Amino acid sequence: MSLLRKPVIGGAAFVAAMVGALSCASAADMPGNPPLSLPAPSRPLHRVEVASGWYLRGDLGYRMGRLNSAQPAPGFAAPTDDKMGNSIVAGLGGGIKTEWLRTDVTIDFATPMKYEAPLGGTSAKVSATTFLFNGYLDLGTWYRATPYIGAGAGTARMSVSDYTSTALPPFTGDTARTRWNFAWAGMAGVAYAISPNTMVDLGYRYINFGDVTTGSDVFGSMTLKQIAAHEVRVGLRWSFDDLSMAR
């Protein structure tokens, strides 16, 4: 009998403990008793893709040159009917887009613009290569189209060559000259998504190159003041590295 006493006592204790636990659970479920609260499981973080990322761009445009005035060597009359011609411009760049803000760095090459003052028998070729840092504000998207405005600043490598004049003054010899200027630009346009990663960009840009001075001879030199251009541009933007954020 002593051999059975310990198992019987242990079994009775186990049954009593189970009955007590079930009674507590039933009492907690009775009306008027607050339910037992368990800690809520934590919500795992996951990555959400946003319409952002690094991109490359290429642009082609038509540049319509402008200038404020021409300043000849002392003692010679300034031309009154001068004008700056047009040229073709092509550019490359790369940047990053984060929701409604874009920034990029661009380099543009262009064929020479021709300066002419027919009454003075004066002409020259002016070339400009620009390096700009640009910022853009996207104004929303409707039916895949995103209008934007922007501005840029940087530097321009200005070159003047083939300068000839019969009266203002009659230059002779090598009149080529190259200089670096501060340049700035203002842009507006609209981009249209043709695929999830590619947009066609149609835009307008005003760009100011500053002054450029020809080479000089015994009569002096001529300075073309505040050279600028209006541009109509079309380009492609290709996004290759979408950003993501944790939510």
Could you count the other beta carbons within 10 Å of the beta carbon of residue 60? 12
Q: pLDDT value at position 86?
A: 96
- Average pLDDT value for residue range 21-43: 49
Give a three-class secondary structure readout of 48-112. EEEEEEEEEEEEEEEEEEECCEEECCCCCCCCCCCEECEEEEEEEEEEEEECCEEEEEEEEEECC
Q: pLDDT value at position 34?
A: 52
- Average pLDDT value for residue range 31-54: 55
Q: pLDDT value at position 23?
A: 47
- Average pLDDT value for residue range 221-244: 87
Least confident of 57-66, 109-118, 200-209: 109-118
- Average pLDDT value for residue range 98-124: 90
* Whole-number Å distance between alpha carbons of 159 and 171: 17
* Whole-number Å distance between alpha carbons of 141 and 7: 79
Whether pLDDT at 237 is above 90 = yes
Q: What is the pLDDT of residues 180-226, one digit of tens each?
A: 999 999 999 999 999 989 999 999 999 999 999 887 766 777 889 99
Residue 167 sits at φ, ψ, to 5 deg, of: -145, -15
* Whole-number Å distance between alpha carbons of 233 and 110: 13
* Whole-number Å distance between alpha carbons of 153 and 132: 5
Element holding 15 (H helix, E strand): helix 2-29
Q: Which letter does DSSP use for residue 42 in this model?
A: P
Single out the residue of 154, 149, 109 nearest to residue 128, CA to CA.
109
pLDDT above 90 covers a percentage of the chain that reads 52
25 pLDDT band, cuts 50/70/90, is: very low
Owner of token pair 């001068």: 82
What three-state secondary structure class fits 211? strand
Per-residue tokens: 162: 């083939």
Single out the residue of 137, 117, 114 nearest to residue 125, CA to CA.
114
Q: pLDDT value at position 4?
A: 42
Mean pLDDT of the chain: 80
